Structure 1
Amino acid sequence: MTNVAVINYGPRLDYPAMLSELTDRLHVFSHHELRNTQGLAHYEFVEDCESVPYAELMIRRLARDEPFTHVITDNEYDLERAARLREEFGIPGQSSASALSFRDKLVMKETASRTVATARFARLETVADLTRFIERCAYPVVVKPVKQGGSRDIVVLRGDEDLVAFSRRPWRDDLMAEEFIEGPMYHVDAVLGHGYRFVASSRYLRSCLGVFSGQNNGSVQLHPQDAFARRLEEFLDRTLEAFDTPDVSAYHLEVFHTPEDELVLCEIASRIGGDRIPLLTRTTYGVDLHTTLLRQLCDLPVDPPPTAPPAEIHGSVSILPQGRPVRAPGRPPFEWVRHYEVNEQLAPDAVTLHSASHLCFVVVCGADSAEVEQRLLQAEAWLLARLEGPAMEPELTMHQV
């Protein structure tokens, strides 16, 4: 009989709705408190779930009474933990080695470099490793933890003053350096399974690192019939040729497009993209990435991916926290706005901590990427002009991913 252990991160995932056939066979340990837990075999909210070993310990104990047939997670930080449990229980799925190759950015680049271009990189044991890398590659260089996400704790060193300032920070034992690549960054989001293939490509509105200097972040979808979208999809396939991939997985690929018209890998993860990517994908294609992935991981049927081109594509832009109390504006008054949402959980003096940090965000539609981008910039300007006054209750709140 099917018995499923779930290590959850997403605060809005509805497991009884997504996996309705298995509700009473789901044992869910969650980083966030979930709203709908009705009928679950087991549910616990675990504070700091991705950082503490409690879920892993309890899943092993539950398995003594009834063995698990599936161990699944929606969280990148739990991929290795879920893989360890599957291997221990003899359950098919992504192996620990495969999970590590997508989680550790240095291992990832060593692996991917077999089939695609990557920036030059090096592991940093000491500051001497960093200075040698700078001598070899020249400024600017990027320094980041090998297993972090959301652009957290990334530093760009653009000159010797930055290096000296960086040397005053506590040294970490999980750092790597990589060459800075010029050019816009694209992301490719996919779910691949037994006879199932869904791939969509987008361009980041601005650099993900720009949020730490006050630039609002967002994405602009590419039309699937765009020649560059097909080129990005081919790059995804070539990248995955280098990896040991599970039968079913999601992928989030980030790739630079250089001024010389080259594609250079930034990173690839075996998970669903974060921020507004699931919402944009559902709005354009009618594909719920989480449901599509998790049902296949549990050997449940899914609707086939769409084959007809979408009538319109979408993009989003997020207004950053301001570090001071402000009033979130109401919905922008444009007919092409498809969704507007205010972050109810944001503290009045919150600052930007990662690339998905936001005070509010807006989703717009358009016939092509150029129109979507123009409308995003218009909506962004409208919102920024109306950030004012002390924090108040949001004028509009939408409760959907």
Structure 2
Amino acid sequence: MANVAVINYGPLNDYAAMLPELADRLHVFSHHELADTGRFARYEYVPDCEFVPYAELRIRQLAKEERFSHLITDNEYDLERAARIRADLDIPGQSPVSALSFRDKVVMKQVAQRAVATPRFARLATITDLTDFIEENGYPVVVKPVKQGGSRDIVVLRDEDELVAFSRRHWRDDLMAEEYVEGDIYHVDALLADGYRFVASSRYLRNCLGVLSGQNNGSLQLHPQDKLAKRLEEFLDSVLDVFDTPATGAYHLEVFHTLDDELLLCEIASRVGGSRIPALTRATYGLDLLTTWLRLSCGLPVDPAPSTPPNTLHGSVAIVPPGRPVGAPPQPPFAWVRHYQVNDKLPPGATAQNSTSHLCFAIVEGADTLQVEQRLFEVEDWLLANLREAPQREGRRP
């Protein structure tokens, strides 16, 4: 088998364990330093790898000596680069057209609205485009970069004062406007390949943007036989029918469920869902999303997709950094908390920078979605009540 190029982001990814058959054929370029790299054909830690073109240059140079059979990446921000390399080196996988449609949120919605409903939206070249959009659609309005993720750099404008305040910011050339949608937000996480299909639906505990104003975030799974779960799966299929999709794909779809029971596309990404989604999927279905996606992408055997309805469901809640020095609570005293983890890399006094920012998080188990939700709120209340306030430093004596 020919070589496999890897552009890695995840600091804990163990490619030797995920792809043992290919370990000595892997050429890995990594944004973070990895452990257990001795079996690789090549390994380079590349600081700021997702921002510098070194990995792309080296893969192209190496391909002149021996061809690559596959090129894989775990990082959404590398999808377009990976697709470009594949097209130029005749490597199978996602194409540049496909990658762009899943990365640029304006292109994404232009494609998707051929099959499903979307919020009203517009690309912004100048502030006039924004004011025209507001005049036509009213407040509130969401302004966000077209290729950003994790709720980074998103602003919700609710009135003229907030518009004026926004106008004092440095203007960016990558912005879009979108109508603000009231209602719940669901996510659908899927792995699709020839002979393989896994689809699971979940509901975000709160609006993803709430973390930027101090709300804790998380999600809770729906049972696959739930009526809404089936609607969401059908919605996913409708969306993907109008996209250029690779033979093997991982998808993270976010859907607005409006107050009048309409489903609207929020966003769809062609990669595994982030945050606690992989952990929740392992807990309920015994499926490792990333490993399975990468193995399918490289033509390696995988276990059959889960087909038996789960006996229990799981959810997670993450406590947002409160913006003051605090210590994380101890392990919650509930038997149904299946995992608890403290973010030991969070600097003191940190505030939320994106939807993944957290002081700590807990994963809970329940018999159904309702019980999971109740337990999430119960453990959230306990964690907030048990934050450890950091002692105040005494000032210097005169």
The Cα of 1:61 is off from its aligned counterpart by: 1.6
Contact 2:217–2:355 under 8 Å retained in 1: yes
The Cα of 1:344 is off from its aligned counterpart by: 1.7
SS at match of 2:311: coil
TM-score between the two structures when normalised by the length of structure 1 = 0.96
For 2:358 and 2:11, locate their aligned partners in 1 and report how far apart those are by CA, in whole Å: 16
Contact 2:2–2:67 under 8 Å retained in 1: no
Q: How does 1:126-275 map to 2 (within 5 A)?
A: 126-275=126-275
Amino acid at match of 2:258: T
TM-score between the two structures when normalised by the length of structure 2 = 0.97
Per-residue CA distance 1:78-121 (angstroms, 9 max, x = gap): 00100011111111111000000000000000000000000010
SS at match of 1:178: strand
SS at match of 2:304: coil
Greater Cα shift, 34-43 or 122-131 = 34-43
Question: Paired residue for 2:396?
Answer: none
For 1:120 and 1:95, locate their aligned partners in 2 and report how far apart those are by CA, in whole Å: 27
For 2:155 and 2:365, locate their aligned partners in 1 and report how far apart those are by CA, in whole Å: 34
* Alignment coverage as a number of residue pairs: 391
The Cα of 1:227 is off from its aligned counterpart by: 1.0
Amino acid at match of 2:305: P
Question: Paired residue for 1:48?
Answer: 48
SS at match of 2:371: helix
SS at match of 1:310: coil
Question: Paired residue for 1:9?
Answer: 9
For 2:272 and 2:332, locate their aligned partners in 1 and report how far apart those are by CA, in whole Å: 29
SS at match of 2:68: coil
Are 2:317 and 1:326 aligned? no
SS at match of 1:69: strand
Are 2:79 and 1:95 aligned? no
For 1:250 and 1:11, locate their aligned partners in 2 and report how far apart those are by CA, in whole Å: 20
Question: Paired residue for 1:396?
Answer: none
For 1:343 and 1:2, locate their aligned partners in 2 and report how far apart those are by CA, in whole Å: 39
Amino acid at match of 1:342: V
Per-residue CA distance 1:232-273 (angstroms, 9 max, x = gap): 000000011110110001000000001111000000010111
The Cα of 1:149 is off from its aligned counterpart by: 0.3
Per-residue CA distance 1:291-324 (angstroms, 9 max, x = gap): 0000011110100011111110000000111222
For 2:28 and 2:195, locate their aligned partners in 1 and report how far apart those are by CA, in whole Å: 28
Greater Cα shift, 41-50 or 213-222 = 41-50
Contact 1:16–1:38 under 8 Å retained in 2: no
The Cα of 1:374 is off from its aligned counterpart by: 0.5
Amino acid at match of 1:355: S
For 2:113 and 2:352, locate their aligned partners in 1 and report how far apart those are by CA, in whole Å: 32
For 1:6 and 1:324, locate their aligned partners in 2 and report how far apart those are by CA, in whole Å: 39
Amino acid at match of 1:199: V
For 2:323 and 2:30, locate their aligned partners in 1 and report how far apart those are by CA, in whole Å: 29
Q: Which runs of 5+ in 2 are unaligned?
A: 392-398
Per-residue CA distance 1:54-82 (angstroms, 9 max, x = gap): 11111112212211111110111000100
Over the residues paired in the alignment, what is the CA RMSD in angstroms? Answer: 0.9
Percent identity among equivalent residues?
A: 70
Amino acid at match of 1:27: H
SS at match of 2:85: helix
The Cα of 1:387 is off from its aligned counterpart by: 0.9
Are 2:105 and 1:105 aligned? yes
Q: Which runs of 5+ in 1 are unaligned?
A: 392-401
The Cα of 1:370 is off from its aligned counterpart by: 0.8
